[in-house]
Amino acid sequence: MKKTIFTCLAAAVLTLTFVPAGITSSPQKAYACSKGEYTTPEYDYSVASNVFSGAPIKVDNVYLDGKLYRMGTFVTDTIYKGGGVRTLLTPLDSDQCGATFELGHNYLVYANNSLDYPSANVFNIFEGDEAKERIEQLKNLDQVPVPTPGVHIETLYPGHNITLTLDGRTIPVTPAPVFFKDSLYVPMTFFRDVLGYVTIWNSDSGRYEIMLKSDWAGIFAKGDSTKSEFTGSASGIPEGTAPFEAGVTYSDVRVKVDGKLYAPEHLPFTYDGVVYVALRSTAEKLGLQVSWLPETYTAQLRDIRPIDEVQHPILVMKLSSNNAGEADLIIDKINNDQALYRIDRPLGFGEKAEQLTAPFTELIKETNSEENRKIRLFLHTNEREKEMMVTEALRDALLRDPDMRARASLVLSNDHYMWPTSDVFGLANIR
CATH number of the structural domain spanning residue 81: 2.40.50.120
Encode pLDDT of 268-321 as tens digits: 888 888 888 888 877 877 778 888 888 898 999 988 878 888 889 999 999 999
Q: Does residue 17 lie in a domain region?
A: no
pLDDT at 266: 73
Q: Which of 266, 300, 334 is the last residue of a domain?
A: 300
Q: Could you tell me if 203 and 328 lie in one domain?
A: no
Phi, psi of 219 (to 5 degrees): -60, -50
Distance CA 309, CA 284 (A): 22
Range of the domain at 208: 152-300
Q: Are 360 and 371 in contact (CB under 8 A)?
A: no
Among 88, 78, 209, 86, smallest CA distance to 144 is for 209
Tell me whether residue 317 is in a domain. yes
Q: Does residue 408 lie within any of the structural domains?
A: yes
What average pLDDT score do residues 341-364 get?
92
Mean of pLDDT over the chain = 80
Averaged pLDDT for residues 357-362: 95
Share of the chain above pLDDT 90, in %: 40
**What is the percentage of the chain residues whose pLDDT exceeds 70?**
74
Could you read off the pLDDT of 178-217 as tens digits, one per residue?
998 888 999 877 877 776 665 555 555 555 555 544 333 3
DSSP-derived letter for residue 428 is G
Indicate whether 251 pLDDT > 80.
no
Q: How confident is the model at residue 145 (pLDDT cuts 50, 70, 90)?
A: low
Mean pLDDT in residue range 113-126: 92
For residue 385, is it within any domain? yes
Report the C-alpha dihedral over residues 127, 130, 133, 137, rounded to 10 degrees: -80
Q: What is the pLDDT of residue 268?
A: 81
Q: Are 261 and 267 in contact (CB under 8 A)?
A: no
Q: What is the pLDDT of residues 122-132, one digit of tens each?
A: 999 999 999 99
What pLDDT band is residue 174 in, cutting at 50, 70 and 90? confident
Q: Check whether residue 295 and residue 344 sit in a common domain.
A: no
Higher pLDDT, residue 262 or 381:
381
CA torsion sign, 396 to 332 to 304 to 415? Answer: negative
Check residue 100 and give its pLDDT: 92
Judge if 79 and 134 occupy the same domain: yes
Task: Please indicate, yes or no, if residue 277 is contained in any of the structural domains.
Answer: yes
Asked whether residue 360 falls in the same domain as residue 403, the answer is: yes
Q: How many CA atoms lie within 13 A of 207 on its CB side?
A: 18
Question: Residue 148 has what pLDDT?
Answer: 78
314-351 pLDDT per residue, tens: 999 999 998 888 999 999 999 999 999 999 998 888 88
For 83-104, how does the pLDDT look when each residue is reduced to its tens digit (9 = 90+)? 779 999 999 988 889 999 999 8
pLDDT band at 139 (very low <50, low <70, confident <90, very high): confident
In whole angstroms, what is the distance from residue 109 CA to residue 127 CA? Answer: 9
Domain count, the chain: 3
Last residue of a domain, one of 83, 110, 138: 138
Most confident of 7-16, 34-43, 69-78, 158-167: 69-78
175 and 287 share a domain? yes
Q: Is residue 6 part of a domain?
A: no
